[in-house]
Chains A and B, each alone.
Chain A
Amino acid sequence: MLAVSLPAILSHWRRHPIQLAMLLLGLCLATALWSAVQAINGEARASYARAAAVLAQDSLTQIVHADGDLIDQTVFARLRTSGWLVTPVVNGELRLGGTRYRLIGVDPVSLPPEARMIGLPEPGNGFTAFISPPWQFLAHPETATRVTGLTGSPIVASSSLMPGTLVTDIGHAQKLLGLEGSISRLIEWKEQPAGRKPLAQVAPGLVERAPGTSSDISRLTDSFHLNLTAFGFLSFAVGLFIVHAAVGLAFEQRRITFRTMRALGLPAIHLIGALMIEALLLSVVAGLAGVALGYGVAAVLLPDVAATLKGLYGAEVPGGLTVRPAVWAAGLAIAAGGTLFSTSGYLVRTWQQPLMNAARPLAWIEAHVRSIRYQAVAGISMLVVAAAMAWLATGLAAGFIMIGLLFLGAAFALPLALSSALKLGTRLARAPLTQWFWADARQQLPGLSLALMALLLALATNIGVGTMVSSFRQTFVGWLDQRLASELYVTARTEAEAQRIAAFLKDRADAVLPIWHVEGTAAGQPVEIYGVADQRTYRDNWPIIEAVPGVWDEVAAGRGLLVNEQLWRRRRLALGQSLLLPRGLSLPVAGVYSDYGNPIGQVIISNDQLTDHFPEVQRLRYGVRIAPALADGLADALRDRFGLPRENVVSQASIKAFSLGVFDRTFTVTAALNILTLGVATIAMFANLLTLANMRLPSVAPVWAMGVRLKTLAWLDLTRGLMLAVLTMVAAIPLGIALSWALLAIVNVEAFGWRLPLHLFPWDWLRLAIMAVTAALAAAALPSWSLAHTPPARLTKVFAHER
């Protein structure tokens, strides 16, 4: 039976290739964007997992100082001789050729087997070479290429390491980091001998840290991936609008076929079965194409995502894409699920359709009219809840739920809003034709409402995300001006060179400001601790958000410290509250400054305190104040005199350009996804209009019969499309602003730790409106054109077939 019924059903598509193309395109696009996001997220997660798995931190317990301090390395031997199986690790930041690398020092002899998976020691090379001068560095092949020649030690490539990480012998690492005799942490072996003494007794002040908790990166980047996923889901939902429209049309047009088949004796269950098989066939074809396309999109976007993750969170994600079976499976599943979901309503109606009932082309639209009110009530309630949440709720999840409610509520309320606007239009219209125009638009609204909702969401996302990015950029540019006050930034290669450079600059520059820092833990978070010289530059320029009176005097006198906004918000610090830094240094918070683009907490103390408490601090970087006109000359003089590489003497302008470049690259992904979503919405509208065009001949024919030319009617159709797009755009503006507010005031604060002021950019809206109108024109052009070219015979048939 299936052998007969399936070809009969499928033959429809042969006669309607555009419909088929639309259906496949919708499904394909929906799957593609979803898969692209999954592929990107999968890649990023895999690299976080790899980062966490370096030294098996994800599976082995660690021992750290309760205060986040460094640990004296004799503790290692003490633990060992007390029966603890542990290995020491020292880590820090190493600057090579102007780039910062994460340096990890390990002792290969005491390393637990699980932690050896970093390519250590290479068979045949031997760890003799690893633990003896001139030592070796292990590095990801990408990183290995970059650092080759920059150190006196051979570089061994190991693809199990993350880019940007260097692994070397612990003694070598201590030397490079100026941490001789100290270690950062200890890693426990999985199997510990029985009867060892308690940790508190052997090494007071040290605490055990459960495996995995150190992987801050994946927690930090969660919000970013949630963002991407939300985008992917939005695109998928918009794609389903297309599918829904195309499937709806196909069902309506085949009602007569179905009725004939049933009348010939095909049981309903077989018909439904055949239709489901059809849906699955289509979804497999479109799903496969969609996932393939998704990989293409992901491959294009991944480098920018990687840049974003590095820029915002310091997370290293390699630029290459791995094909993951899970992504393929998920893509196909979601395509099939989406198709069945879009089809289910029609399947139910086909199942319930009385055998001898007449096919009524507009019946399904009429049903929608009734639901508009219910939808609107639901939508408005959602908006109310969203507003309440904006007032009361905190937290990242609440922020996203709020945004979800806002979007869904607005989408549900849209048909009623448009309908009201059109009602107003009808009331204001004088001429009969204009009255018909408005009334006809209202009548079409139910059929178009899904596509318009899609358009609304796409436009609002564009406005919201665009506003957020532009606000961020404006703030960022202003902040760069404050933060990068020095005209030149010089990095010496050794401390001796640094001293010579400082001496050289003494008489040539207005001021030489040390930019030195150490890493440590404060308030349970990893922080960078910088020292500042007491100098006007800071008093005049530093981007302070909130501070006690005379904050710089407090800092200079060693009576206070500054924290960055991230640390301040995350730890809910208050001015005057004491913050405990490593080595027992405890100072009250005297001020808070903005510190965009920095994933981790930062603390500023006076430079004297820094060098007193952390004598090992690397004294290599300086900011140089000089009249801007003289900066380039001094930079050249520095390079000539000390033979410094270009990247070691950097001007303020080039750092700014670089930072803005990073910033812009960071949001390329957002822009790309924006455009893609808008594209999908356009196609959805096109599919809807195409569906309607065929069905609404009965409402056009009487107007034509009364003497209105087809061309005029076609123009009216086009105008209606534009009008609806413009109305949707108008509705999208407040929604977009609400979205950007939620992003800036809730999501950003949770995700990045900083709150940005909201700036409005009406010119961007105008540009977007033009895009929306163009999209609507493109979508309405073909249906209008085909209306203008409808043979009169078809129009007269409407009356012949009048029921």
Chain B
Amino acid sequence: MSVRVLVFYFLMVLPAIAQGFAGLGGPAEGFAKPSRATVLQFPQDHGVHRPFRVEWWYLTANLQGDDGEDYGVQWTLFRVALSPDQAPGWEDPQVWMGHAAVTSKSRHLAAERFARSAVGQAGVELAPFRAWIDNWHMTGEKNPSADQLSRLAIGASGEGFSYDLTATAHGPIVLQGDAGYSVKSLDGHASHYYSQPFYAVAGAIVLEGRRIAVTGQAWLDREWSSQPLTEDQAGWDWFSLHFDDGEKLMVYRFRDHAGDYLSGTWISANGKPQPLAPDELALTPLETADVAGRRIPVRWRLQLPARRLDIETRPLNPQAWMDLSVPYWEGPIRFEGTKGGVGYLEMTGYK
């Protein structure tokens, strides 16, 4: 899910708070570089990778309410290091950003938080797993029977919304790309990337004062890198899909001035990943919507002939605009075609 890096990329050009993220696109002096030779180790790799410049814990959930309606929930924690140095207290150059959102058919509410790691306002700890910023949290069990991420309590709140969910994994952790080494562009930019796409979710959301009990499924992405973007990348479209038959698909398209770079991973129902080559996939926008003064393609056709997949997606709410310091589109979708199911779509870089 390296697409999320663009979030930070945008931060660079923002005035005010985002100034802190300036220089992210530049050379990653002193930071570690992702390496194909690295073998991911758990639970250590659930935690913070200080030598790398950026990192995130990114969860999206497709939910059905007891009112029969569809809902979507996002919980994200980003970490960015201003320098590779370590220092105690306030001098610790780690800055954290949290995004949270709830989407319904007619509403899309989002909030953001910023923090420094100095005094415990935000951070990620292991044993038990705990990722937090302010009172937004993603917390593992004290003595987990399986992986530390196998059972999570997730909560966040913003103006007009809050949610409290429990996510229970019923499948293994999935390494994206080449055993967790995920290439992002033709000139070799890469990141470390794994997912847990097998969460069953239960809990409640409160949307504008109304409490709704929800159940559904969620997808967690973990990714870290130091130099994730090339300078001419303009944006991306990213899909995480839960098929009705239990299989999963992650697809992303990097758009740059030279052309598009498509990639993805097919995940079998028992969690076996199969990386997809760029030429195996076809992604076609079908319909755009006017969102926050921009034209954004909200309906898509996705084809994967090798798997006889040909589906059309439509958003739960076309106006799922994250109107934050870094604005982007992110919301739940449904799809029909050769297979049916639900998923999440993120789109950045549309003007």
Contacts and interface: CB of A to CB of B under 8 A. Distances in A.
Contacts of A109: 17, 20, 95, 114-116
B224 interface: no
Given A108-B17, A195-B157, A171 B118 contact: yes
A169 B134 contact: no
B69 interface: no
Contacts of B16: 116, 121, 123
Interface in A102-129: 107-110, 116, 121, 123-128
B90 A131 contact: yes
B121 A80 contact: yes
Given A127-B17, A191-B159, A193-B158, A80 B135 contact: yes
Interface residues of A, number: 36
Given A74-B120, A123-B19, A169-B90, A132 B82 contact: yes
Interface in B113-166: 114-116, 118-121, 132, 134-135, 137, 157-159, 162
B120 A83 contact: no
Contacts of A74: 119-120
A110 B96 CA distance: 11
A530 interface: no
Contacts of A123: 15-16, 19
A337 interface: no
Contact of B115 (A110, A133, A170, A174): A110
Given A109-B95, A109-B114, A174-B90, A196 B121 contact: no
A81 B90 contact: no
Nearest to A197: B135
Contacts of B120: 74, 77, 81
B287 interface: no
A83 B15 CA distance: 26
A126 to B, nearest CB: 4
B115 A80 contact: yes
- Chain B interface size range: 20 to 34
A85 B22 contact: no
Contacts of B115: 80, 109-110
A534 interface: no
A379 B79 CA distance: 78
Contact of B116 (A83, A131, A174): A131
Chain B CB count within 10 A is highest, among A126, A174, A180, for: A126
Nearest to A181: B89
Nearest to B134: A80
A76 interface: yes
Nearest to A78: B120
Nearest to B95: A109
A108 B119 CA distance: 14
B91 interface: yes
Contacts of B157: 83, 193-195
A82 interface: yes
B23 interface: yes
Contacts of B82: 128, 131-132
Main secondary structure of the interface of A (DSSP, over half): loop
Contacts of A124: 19
B83 interface: yes
A444 interface: no
A132 B21 CA distance: 13
Contact of A196 (B19, B20, B118, B135): B135
Interface in A61-99: 73-74, 76-77, 80-83, 85
Interface string A42-56: 000000000000000
Contacts of A169: 90
A85 B89 contact: no
B65 interface: no
A674 to B, nearest CB: 51
A133 B91 contact: yes
B19 A127 contact: yes
A174 B119 CA distance: 13
Nearest to A180: B89
B132 A81 contact: yes
Interface in B173-198: none
B121 A77 contact: yes
B91 A121 contact: no
B93 interface: yes
Contacts of B23: 126, 128
Contacts of B93: 131-132
Contacts of A174: 90
Contacts of B15: 123
Nearest to A75: B119
Interface in B1-44: 15-17, 19-20, 22-23
B135 A131 contact: no
Contacts of B22: 126, 128
B319 to A, nearest CB: 23
A120 B43 CA distance: 40
Contact of A131 (B20, B134, B162): B20
Given A169-B90, A171-B118, A128 B135 contact: no
Nearest to A107: B116
B90 A83 contact: no
Interface in A181-215: 181, 191, 193-196
Interface string B94-123: 010000000000000000001110111100
Interface string A370-388: 0000000000000000000
A29 B275 CA distance: 89
A83 B157 CA distance: 9
B20 A126 contact: yes
B9 to A, nearest CB: 15
A128 B116 contact: no
A83 B83 contact: no
Nearest to A76: B119
B44 to A, nearest CB: 24
Contact of B20 (A76, A80, A82, A128): A128
Contacts of B83: 132
A132 B22 CA distance: 13
Nearest to B158: A193
B135 A170 contact: no
A652 B132 CA distance: 57
A171 B89 contact: yes
B138 to A, nearest CB: 13
A314 B132 CA distance: 43
A86 B233 CA distance: 37
Contacts of B91: 132-133, 171
Nearest to A88: B119
Contacts of B89: 171, 180-181
A83 B90 CA distance: 21
Contacts of B158: 193
A376 B20 CA distance: 75
A388 B106 CA distance: 74
A157 to B, nearest CB: 18
A107 B17 CA distance: 11
B121 A76 contact: yes
Interface in A638-672: none
A132 to B, nearest CB: 6
A121 B19 contact: yes
A107 B16 CA distance: 13
Interface in A144-186: 169-172, 174, 180-181
Contacts of A73: 119
A109 B115 CA distance: 6
A103 B273 CA distance: 57
A82 B157 CA distance: 12
Given A126-B19, A126-B22, A128-B22, 12 more contacts: A76-B119, A80-B121, A83-B134, A83-B135, A108-B20, A109-B114, A110-B115, A127-B20, A128-B23, A193-B135, A193-B158, A193-B159
7 contacts: A110-B114, A126-B19, A127-B20, A131-B116, A172-B90, A193-B157, A195-B162
Ranked nearest first, the 6 interchain pairs of A and B with the lowest CB-CB distance are A171-B90, A77-B120, A126-B19, A83-B135, A80-B134, A127-B20
Interface of A: 73-74, 76-77, 80-83, 85, 107-110, 116, 121, 123-128, 131-133, 169-172, 174, 180-181, 191, 193-196
